[in-house]
């Protein structure tokens, strides 16, 4: 039985053109995911699922494999991550390869590290879960969120409007960086898990959605700050 890292990097990107290979702090952002997977020494295969020849060339030069190109059906705006992973598992099975655990790593995830990947698989095995999901706490209590009705702001849950933040249950959301799966269970459920989901809590300083140019700038600032702190720690040792 083997472990595989699957980096999902299609060519199309509407909001940030060529997003998956756009330069981030000096190199194509895709390389951060590939390098973290390779440096972790966890995987028998580090592959990139893509429909784009330029992305494929960059990925191969960085040490990843492209055993097959992604199908047209799974390269559009409506294909889900689960659809892409199912295609990968089915294609490998045709080649006689079956995997025990898989990490799906997004191509725009520069905060993913070899240490996080190692901690993720350790937790998933320890808890015997179906999937491990890195999460980050909401910076503001969602229970006190507001919506608009008839051009007016109203509390979504009025019963919490006067509640103190510390009295409300802490809530989390997906970091959108990587996931660890038990492959057998993933195939059985076709990726649709609603239980046995193991959390891995990530600090807000290491999380940033990148859906706009502004997000990109913020992510680079956060990344540079992490590098600076890392250099400070090394200098003190």
The residue extents of the domains of the chain are 2-134+173-236
Could you count the other beta carbons within 10 Å of the beta carbon of residue 74?
20
CA–CA separation, 236 and 104 (whole Å): 35
Q: How confident is the model at residue 133 (pLDDT cuts 50, 70, 90)?
A: very high
Q: What CA–CA distances, in Å, run from 160 to 26, 145, 154, 157?
A: 45, 9, 12, 6
Closest by CA to 155, choosing from 166, 143, 163, is: 143
pTM value is 0.94
Q: What is the DSSP letter of 65?
A: B
The CATH fold of domain 2-134+173-236 = Spore Coat Polysaccharide Biosynthesis Protein SpsA; Chain A (3.90.550)
Burial class of residue 155 (count of CB atoms within 10 Å of its CB; 0-12, 13-18, 19+): middle
Taking the alpha carbons at both ends of the chain, their separation in whole angstroms is: 40
Predicted confidence at residue 218, as pLDDT, reads 98
pLDDT digits over 161-197, tens only? 999 999 999 999 999 999 999 999 999 999 999 899 9
Q: Which residues have CB under 8 Å from 148's CB, separation 6+?
A: 154
């Amino acid at each position: 039985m083997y472990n595989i890292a699957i980096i999902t990097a299609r060519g199309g990107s509407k909001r940030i053109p060529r997003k998956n290979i756009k330069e981030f702090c000096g190199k194509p952002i895709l390389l951060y995911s590939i390098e973290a997977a390779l440096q972790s020494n966890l995987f028998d295969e580090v592959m990139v699922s893509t429909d784009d020849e330029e992305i494929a060339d960059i990925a191969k030069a960085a040490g990843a494999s492209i055993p097959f190109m992604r199908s047209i059906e799974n390269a559009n705006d409506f294909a889900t991550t689960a659809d892409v992973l199912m295609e990968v598992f089915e294609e490998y099975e045709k080649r006689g390869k079956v995997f025990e655990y898989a990490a799906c790593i997004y191509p725009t995830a520069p905060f993913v590290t070899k240490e996080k990947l190692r901690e993720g698989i350790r937790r998933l095995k320890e808890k015997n879960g179906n999937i491990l999901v890195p999460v980050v706490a909401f910076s503001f209590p969602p229970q006190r969120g507001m919506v608009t009705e008839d051009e007016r702001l109203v509390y979504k849950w009025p019963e919490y409007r006067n509640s103190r933040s510390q009295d409300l249950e802490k809530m989390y959301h997906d970091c959108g960086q990587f996931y660890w799966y038990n492959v057998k269970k993933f195939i059985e459920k076709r990726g649709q898990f609603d239980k046995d989901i193991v959390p891995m809590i990530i600090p807000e300083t290491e999380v940033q959605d990148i859906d706009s140019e502004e997000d990109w700038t913020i992510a680079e600032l956060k990344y540079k700050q992490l590098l600076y702190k890392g250099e400070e720690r090394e200098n003190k040792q």
